[in-house]
Amino acid sequence: MKKQITEKQLRVYAWEFILLVLIISGWFVSEIYQNSRMETNLDKYMPQDHPAFIYSDMAEEWFNIRDGILIAIEHPDGIYNSGTLDKIREITLALQEIPGIEANDITSLYTADNIVGTEDGLDVKAFYKRTPQSRDKLDELQRLVRTNDMVQGRIVSQDETVSLIVASIADSIFSMEFYNQILDFANGYKGPENIYVAGRPIVEGTMAFLGPKDMKTMVPLVIVVIIVVLYIALRSIRQTVATLSVVLLSTIWAFGLMAALNIPIYAVSIMIPVMLIAIGVAYGIHLYNNMQLYAGKNPDAGLKELIWDMFRKMWKPVFMSAFTTIVGFLSLLTSDVYPIKYFGLFTAFGVLMAFVFSLFFIPAFEFAMPGRYKGTGKNKERSQKKTERFAQKFADAVLKHKAFVISTTIVLLIVAVIGIQKVWINSSFLENFERNSEIVRTDAFVNTHFGGTSTINVVLESEENGSMIRPEVEKLMVQMQADAETLAVVGNSHSITNFIRRMNQVMHSDDKAFDVIPDDQELIAQYLLLYEMSGDPDNLWKTVDYDYRKANIVVQIKSDNSKDLKQVIEILEKYRQPFDELNVQMNYAGSGYKALVFTDLILKGQIKSLLMSVVIIILLLALMFRKLSLGFIGSIPIVLTATLSFGLMGLLNIPLSTTTALVSSIAVGIGVDYAVHFIERYRVNALRTGSKAQTVIETMHQSGRAISFNAFVVIMGFMVLLFSAFPPNRSLGALVSLNMFFSFIATVTIMYLVIYRSNIYFKKKQK
């Protein structure tokens, strides 16, 4: 006869398995410690092979378009005093010495060109080289700035209390060390002037600083909450520790693999631990729920028998729920947005490990721990009888009031469809922060006094040399700039036309009537030649190329909100056809435009992943249960939940972003677990009892009990996100918590009604 393995031998094997897992986990921890990094470059969130981004990168090289660090210096009594002007000079010169900042690409009142007319023609001078000391010289400088539209309102605020310094940096230079260096540098110049630091690199740095900080707060808080609710659900310290170990190990392995593959941590990656904690806990609850129920009916059963019964009955539903969840998250790979793509991939890997650890680590943990599994006890037996009676009453109530359940669902769906039509997408990075946070207030301050911290670059191209200085092309550019500046959100615009108009005016005794584009192309060419000879041609080449075949129009915007960016694009698009008629092509470039393309990618990716995951899950459920009808029935909770979720976002004006775009995938990934466990338990009970009434009672008692515990734990876990430093994370936490509640209710009401009325697994209709 074959010798059976004793519990003592199983305990040895269990310890060997646990030690192996801990050794591998230790290696992953070292990888996390050595290789984990936060992605600070927001361009890296976007696919580099997308045509729009490829073209934008080329245009950035043509015109040296770089994101700049904006340093605003404010003096309440005005900047025209020797101390403030000298500080502007000092900051400008000091910035030129900082490695990573392009010394020749710093714009300030100290470096700005002042185009003036002379007896000999035209000259380009600095506003000041030495800081003016006397009142007369200060007044003269003030007069020069006031009469120069290329400086007043752009580098010096209209109220003359703030001056702006813009320092361009290369994308590859930015790091957290550089971010901290710039902030320390700027703060060193405070007093009596106020110093404000803004710009996209600062937004990136602030996000990179707050992201890990938020994770350090969220993860321990989630763990504490999960421990409490797990103990409430399981009523066992031993089972709570085992289940918590599973989710911690799966989280370590997911982030460890990410670090080993040198994949950076994005802002949305903060959600992965919360996701894995919620999902891994669900598997532990279902496994221990089975053990408790079996122990209640078999009080003399040993640990080996309990584990074997748990494994035999639960491996299939846990595998099915894990597999469908993995598929749901892998569908995010269809997205072109890197944070969402990697979120789906590594969450799927974490779910896989949570499944493996649940089926093998939990039994190993039970065998390795000293002491005997004590079963349920009399109090728990009485509690189970109460829940069984409650399950029967609940099942009867749903059937009795099915008209109310169905009509309520229909009303909610109608309201949700109305809300879905109001859903909008927002790629704003500033709206990741609190409205009263320093970075948002600083950005608002700069936007209030100057043209705007966000930009859209309109790039014009022609095949003929000299096309960009043709009067008809120049005048159309002026018209487009003026039209765009009628929008409240547009602060300023800048192009070669600003140079031409300024030169035409100063060459006519500074007469405002000549602040126009000349009708003579040869005259325009002469102006540009004079500027090249007198001034810094690098400033000119930011607006036009050497052959005058390409031009760059910079539109400054006081917001990075996607609605505002689209509003600007709509105005600009009106000029596409007029430029086409002049044989000039119009395209877009710059960070603002790329952010707008980013929003479209979020929407397309969301639609693709959602449709794909629902279709695949329907097919998987049909294959698992060998009935196509059960594939559709099992998809009812997730379809209802996704619809209600998007409807709620539209009604509450919550935009889709890289964070909230995950809501539907999370709803599908976690919500399908409820359907899988319910249907599988219904199938097993139906085949065993042959009684429809008994099947309903036992399914509601067994699976409904576990699902309710699971939903409670997941909801409480995600509610912790309400304490996140990032508003989108708080929205995600609230939405996912509601989604889990919707999924739970939809499973035990609508899906239950459908599966009950369909008479599946019963040859004859039973009452």
Per-residue pLDDT at 2 exceeds 60:
no
More reliable by pLDDT, 385 or 129: 129
Residue pLDDT, tens place only, 574-624: 999 999 999 999 999 987 788 788 777 777 777 777 788 788 888 888 888
Maximum Cα–Cα distance across the chain: 116
Rounded percentage of the chain residues whose pLDDT exceeds 90: 28
Q: What are the CA-CA distances from residue 66 to residues 82, 101, 113, 534, 598 (Å)?
A: 31, 11, 20, 25, 19
pLDDT for the residue 714: 78
Q: What are the CA-CA distances from residue 465 to residues 457, 460, 656, 730 (Å)?
A: 21, 13, 44, 54
pLDDT for the residue 376: 46
pLDDT for the residue 766: 52
Mapped to the 3 state alphabet, what secondary structure does 173-208 carry?
A: HCCHHHHHHHHHHHHCCCCCCEEEEECHHHHHHHHH
Per-residue pLDDT at 383 exceeds 70:
no
In terms of phi and psi (left: phi > 0; alpha: psi -120 to 50; beta: otherwise), the region of 191 is left
| Contact status, residue 72 vs residue 445, Cβ threshold 8 Å | yes
pLDDT for the residue 71: 92
The fold of 7-39+206-429+597-757 is Multidrug efflux transporter AcrB transmembrane fold (1.20.1640)
| Cα gap 475→518, rounded to integer Å | 9
pLDDT for the residue 1: 41
pLDDT for the residue 218: 77
pLDDT for the residue 232: 80
More reliable by pLDDT, 304 or 465: 465
pLDDT for the residue 373: 54
Per-residue pLDDT at 372 exceeds 60:
no
Residue pLDDT, tens place only, 145-173: 998 888 998 899 999 999 999 988 876 66
Per-residue pLDDT at 521 exceeds 90:
yes
- Kindly indicate the confidence band of residue 553, based on its pLDDT and cuts at 50, 70 and 90: very high
Rounded percentage of the chain residues whose pLDDT exceeds 70: 94
Q: Which two tokens stand for residue 303?
A: 């640990």
Burial of 373 (0-12, 13-18, 19+ CB in 10 A): buried
Per-residue pLDDT at 752 exceeds 50:
yes
Lowest pLDDT segment from 63-67, 341-345, 414-418: 63-67
pLDDT for the residue 78: 93
Lowest pLDDT segment from 16-30, 76-90, 292-306: 292-306
Instruction: Please state, as a whole number, how many other Cβ atoms lie within 10 Å of the Cβ of residue 723.
Output: 14
**Which residues, including other chains, have CB under 8 Å from residue 226's CB and lie 6 or more apart?**
244, 247, 277, 281, 713, 716, 717
Mean pLDDT along residues 243-269: 89
pLDDT for the residue 386: 66
Per-residue pLDDT at 208 exceeds 50:
yes
More reliable by pLDDT, 669 or 357: 357
pLDDT for the residue 149: 87
- Kindly indicate the confidence band of residue 378, based on its pLDDT and cuts at 50, 70 and 90: very low
Q: What is the pTM of this model?
A: 0.77
Lowest pLDDT segment from 127-141, 319-333, 746-760: 319-333
Strand partners for 586? 460
Per-residue pLDDT at 319 exceeds 90:
no
pLDDT for the residue 382: 56
282-296, 400-414, 728-742, range with greatest mean pLDDT: 400-414
511-515 contacts, C-beta under 8 A, 24 or more apart: 515/149
Lowest pLDDT segment from 360-369, 675-684, 699-708, 736-745: 699-708
Burial of 51 (0-12, 13-18, 19+ CB in 10 A): exposed
- Selection from 651, 677, 757 nearest residue 406 by Cα: 757
Residue pLDDT, tens place only, 47-65: 777 888 888 888 888 888 8
pLDDT for the residue 3: 55
pLDDT for the residue 535: 67
Lowest pLDDT segment from 38-47, 185-194, 501-510, 636-645: 38-47
pLDDT for the residue 4: 66
* DSSP, res 156: B
| Contact status, residue 647 vs residue 676, Cβ threshold 8 Å | no
Instruction: Delimit the CATH 1.20.1640.10 region(s) of the chain.
Output: 7-39+206-429+597-757
pLDDT for the residue 377: 46
Q: What is the mean pLDDT of the chain?
A: 84
pLDDT for the residue 40: 65
Per-residue pLDDT at 511 exceeds 80:
yes
- Selection from 480, 387, 149 nearest residue 472 by Cα: 480
Lowest pLDDT segment from 164-168, 223-227, 356-360, 412-416: 223-227
- Kindly indicate the confidence band of residue 302, based on its pLDDT and cuts at 50, 70 and 90: confident
| Contact status, residue 188 vs residue 71, Cβ threshold 8 Å | no
More reliable by pLDDT, 172 or 111: 111
